[in-house]
Homo-oligomer: A and B are copies of this chain.
Amino acid sequence: MERRFRLVLACPDRLGIVAMVSNFISSHGGSIADANQHSDSSNGWFFMRVEIVSASVNFSREQLIEQFTPIAQSFNMQWELSDSSQPKKVILMASKDSHCLADLLYRYHEGELDCEIPCVISNHDDLRSMVEWHGIPYHHVPVDKEDKQPHFDKVHQLIVEHQADTVVLARYMQILPSSVCDLYRHKIINIHHSFLPSFAGAKPYHQAHERGVKLIGATCHYVTEELDAGPIIDQDVVRVSHRDQPEEMVRLGKDVEKTVLSRGLRWHLEDRVLVHGNKTVVFN
């Protein structure tokens, strides 16, 4: 795909934002390949995402950022400008269950996910061979149940070392300490194996079976300090029936989990997910 700059911004809504931004782009000869806006009438915020054909402007990302800063400041924007030729660095974290990891690795291998994967981290060694077949380093960082801190320290160190932009908890099954959550706010993506807010917490498929629901689901969300309560990126469901015992629900649920996680990650990698408060705007 041709190289693009992606400008993503959120600010209090007021007159002339789109005009100001599009003038800025066209005054530098920028060709807009794709654009989305959203005004949220319930909170008075404005959200925008623009893809600019890089070849149409004579600037680097750094120069564009410098040029745009005064505009951004005058509108009190929260904003980012990324360059599609510099894909995000994504660390995948897993435990023993392989369905989400295998799906992400496959899509990465096929070029469906526009990112680099510097390594996979797991608290078990089970998935090493699968990961290494893809040519990706595998770090086995065990968890000591009595003292988890060394594990988290090592995880943190690996994230820093690899300069990761994004961390994906592909059924990692450990609760990251809030110190890490804070440092990587809206950069850590989790897949929860239920249709949140139903059945938050452990063993959701058993809870679902117990309650006799007719649909089960999965939720992809950014991780925040409050467990299972971060901004939701995507959700989906699959139909179940009285014939489905919990094990069968687990099997059906796995398919939904991997679908929802890979979709959410793809949107994140393309800078389509803007977070405001505890909710997301997804320009897809």
Interface residues of A (CB under 8 A from B): 15-20, 22-23, 25-27, 29-42, 47, 56, 98-99, 102, 106, 110, 112, 129, 133, 195-199, 209, 211-215, 217, 231-237, 241-243, 245, 251, 255, 259, 278-282
**A24's closest neighbor in chain B, by CB?**
B19
Q: Of B22, B102, B214, B279, which contacts A232 at CB under 8 A? A: B214
> Which residues of B lie under 8 Å from residue A56 when comparing CB positions?
15
Contact B110 A245 (CB under 8 A): no
**A21's closest neighbor in chain B, by CB?**
B22
Most buried by B among A26, A33, A56, A112: A26
Contact B234 A237 (CB under 8 A): no
Q: Once bound together, how far apart are the Cα atoms of A41 and B30, in whole Å?
A: 16
Copies in the complex: 4
> Which residues of B lie under 8 Å from residue A106 when comparing CB positions?
99, 102, 106
**A2's closest neighbor in chain B, by CB?**
B41
> Which residues of B lie under 8 Å from residue A215 when comparing CB positions?
195, 217, 235-237
> Which residues of B lie under 8 Å from residue A102 when comparing CB positions?
106
Q: Of B17, B38, B233, B235, which contacts A243 at CB under 8 A? A: B38
Q: Given the interface contacts A99-B110, A110-B99, A217-B215, does A15 sit within 8 Å of B37 by beta carbon?
A: no
Contact A38 B242 (CB under 8 A): yes
Q: Once bound together, how far apart are the Cα atoms of A250 and B23, in whole Å?
A: 36
Q: Once bound together, how far apart are the Cα atoms of A214 and B281, in whole Å?
A: 10
> Which residues of B lie under 8 Å from residue A279 when comparing CB positions?
211-212, 242
**A194's closest neighbor in chain B, by CB?**
B198
> Which residues of B lie under 8 Å from residue A280 when comparing CB positions?
212, 242
List 13 A-B pairs, Cβ < 8 Å.
Answer: A15-B31, A17-B32, A18-B25, A23-B23, A33-B39, A33-B41, A35-B35, A42-B209, A47-B242, A195-B195, A195-B198, A212-B231, A242-B280
Q: Once bound together, how far apart are the Cα atoms of A133 and B282, in whole Å?
A: 38
Most buried by B among A39, A214, A236: A214
Contact A40 B213 (CB under 8 A): no
Contact B198 A197 (CB under 8 A): yes
> Which residues of B lie under 8 Å from residue A195 when comparing CB positions?
195, 198, 215
> Which residues of B lie under 8 Å from residue A29 when comparing CB positions?
15
Q: Of B231, B235, B255, which contacts A259 at CB under 8 A? A: B255
Q: Once bound together, how far apart are the Cα atoms of A23 and B24, in whole Å?
A: 11
Contact B32 A37 (CB under 8 A): yes
> Which residues of B lie under 8 Å from residue A110 when comparing CB positions?
98-99
Smallest CB separation, A73 vs chain B (Å): 19
Smallest CB separation, A275 vs chain B (Å): 10
